[in-house]
């Protein structure tokens, strides 16, 4: 659990800093319409990382798989740092994809943690790994200004500093994974063949998969759309990285700090009820953004906190369903597929958000996000007769 927690905390902190400054780099280099592309690159890598780790664990085991994937994140951080120094999206974006691969692994290990606990505590167990993001919530935005100062000290562009820190944090995750006890999990048994496309498509039509998949995808798109445009909104108002860091800290605390509470809720009242509560909080967050799009000391921090906690409720509730309801012979690979699909959807949301911001500003992004947040309600509210979730 300590190794899983450390990796998740380090990668989350790395991603916060790298995506924040990369959004600004892209905006300055290519215009506002490109501002969502760096986040989309990270999300694409995250999807690949989740998919890759889900297959790799079955072949190499948890320890070796994490070492390999976090090594890719280190390489990506270094490449992205070079892109930040050169202000080159051609170099920056591939590095962000590799960095995202590590982030995908750090997210998927919540299911690894759930395997260590009985059924009535699985939601709380995986929520502890989600809670590791609290480290990123505090350290990620707080490191933006010191990282910029460090870059200036060495004569480098100030925005490259946070990306350099991301490479270092990825290395910490890689080293931590090397300390995982070999006996922590059973030895790798006979290799199961990868799920066929036909079997995956059949699984995605089952309600036990469709409900958490749609819920997580909608929550991710909603959260990513508003979150990625917030630094740009503040930048256009003339605020510096200190204000951006303050507002994003509120958001990241909402995303992760209350995760154990969400886990307790999901264990007690079920995953579906937790998802419905999260949708309500997401809509409230979007309404707050529309009502106070320039209130950088009051309305925006509150809205971004609510945005984060609404996402957390949906994420933990959906993950709890997936940790309990999937068969042993498909669980690891299918969880990776689902995470990959969810992150792919949120990557598309980041791209669309950039276009919406250029078209109608921050308020338009929030309105569209609120509509998207509501999409899973009808599906989630339907219960299978006689089935406990």
Instruction: Give domain limits for the chain.
Output: 2-178+199-381
The pLDDT value recorded for residue 29 is 76
146 Cβ contact list (under 8 Å, min separation 6) = 161
Query: What top-level class would CATH report for the domain 2-178+199-381?
Result: mainly alpha
Query: What does the DSSP assignment read for 1-44?
Result: -HHHHHHHHHHHHHHHHHHHHHHHHHHHHH-GGGTTHHHHHHHH
Radius of gyration for the alpha carbons in the chain, expressed in angstroms and rounded:
19
CA-CA distance, 29 to 46, in Å (whole number)?
24
Q: What is the pLDDT at residue 383? A: 55
Which pLDDT score, from 0 to 100, does residue 20 have? 84
CA-CA distances (angstroms) from residue 278 to 57, 224, 231, 273, 282?
31, 15, 24, 9, 6
Lowest average pLDDT, out of 27-36, 120-129, 349-358, goes to 27-36
For residue 386, is pLDDT > 60? no
The encoded tokens of residue 320 equal: 């709890």
Q: What is the mean pLDDT of the chain?
A: 85
In angstroms, what CA-CA distances link 376 with 153, 217, 364? 49, 9, 21
**pLDDT exceeding 90 applies to what percent of the chain?**
30
Label residue 188 by pLDDT band (50, 70, 90): low
pTM for this model (two decimals): 0.77
Q: Considering all CA atoms of the chain, what is the largest pairwise distance in Å, rounded to the nearest integer?
A: 65
Q: What are phi and psi of 155, to 5 degrees?
A: 75, 25
Query: How far is residue 260's CA from residue 128's CA, in Å, rounded to a whole number?
Result: 6
């Amino acid at each position: 659990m300590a190794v899983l927690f450390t990796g998740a905390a380090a990668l989350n902190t790395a991603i916060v800093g790298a995506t924040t400054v990369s959004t600004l780099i892209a905006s300055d280099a290519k215009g506002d319409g490109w501002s969502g592309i760096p986040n989309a690159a990270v999300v694409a890598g995250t999807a690949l990382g989740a998919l890759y780790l889900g297959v790799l664990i079955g072949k190499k085991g948890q320890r070796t798989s994490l070492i390999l994937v976090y090594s890719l994140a280190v390489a990506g951080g270094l490449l992205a740092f070079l892109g930040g120094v050169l202000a080159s999206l051609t170099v920056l974006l591939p590095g962000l994809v590799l960095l995202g691969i590590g982030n995908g692994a750090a997210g998927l290990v919540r299911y690894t943690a759930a395997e260590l606990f009985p059924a009535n505590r699985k939601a709380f167990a995986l929520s502890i790994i989600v809670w590791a993001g609290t480290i990123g919530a505090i350290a990620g935005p707080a490191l933006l200004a010191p990282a910029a100062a460090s870059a200036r000290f060495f004569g480098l562009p100030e925005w490259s500093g946070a990306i350099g820190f991301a490479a270092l944090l990825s290395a910490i995750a890689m080293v931590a994974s090397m300390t995982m006890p070999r006996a922590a999990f059973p030895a790798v048994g006979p290799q199961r063949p990868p799920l066929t496309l036909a079997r995956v498509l059949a699984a995605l039509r089952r309600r036990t998969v469709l409900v958490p998949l749609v819920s997580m995808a909608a929550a991710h798109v909603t959260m990513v759309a508003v979150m990625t445009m917030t630094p740009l909104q503040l930048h256009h108002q003339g605020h510096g990285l200190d204000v951006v860091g303050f507002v994003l800290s509120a958001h990241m605390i909402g995303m992760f700090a209350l995760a154990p509470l969400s886990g307790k809720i999901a264990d007690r009242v079920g995953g579906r009820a937790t998802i419905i509560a999260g949708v309500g909080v997401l809509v409230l967050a979007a309404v707050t953004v529309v009502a106070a799009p320039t209130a950088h000391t009051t309305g925006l921090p509150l809205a971004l906190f609510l945005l984060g906690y609404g996402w957390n409720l949906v994420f933990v509730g959906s993950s709890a369903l997936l940790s309990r309801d999937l068969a042993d012979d498909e669980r690891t690979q299918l969880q990776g597929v689902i995470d990959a699909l969810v992150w792919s959807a949120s990557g598309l949301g980041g791209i669309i958000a950039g276009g919406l911001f250029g078209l109608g500003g921050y308020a338009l992004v929030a309105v569209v996000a609120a509509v998207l947040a509501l999409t899973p309600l009808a599906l989630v509210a339907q219960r299978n007769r006689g089935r406990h979730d």
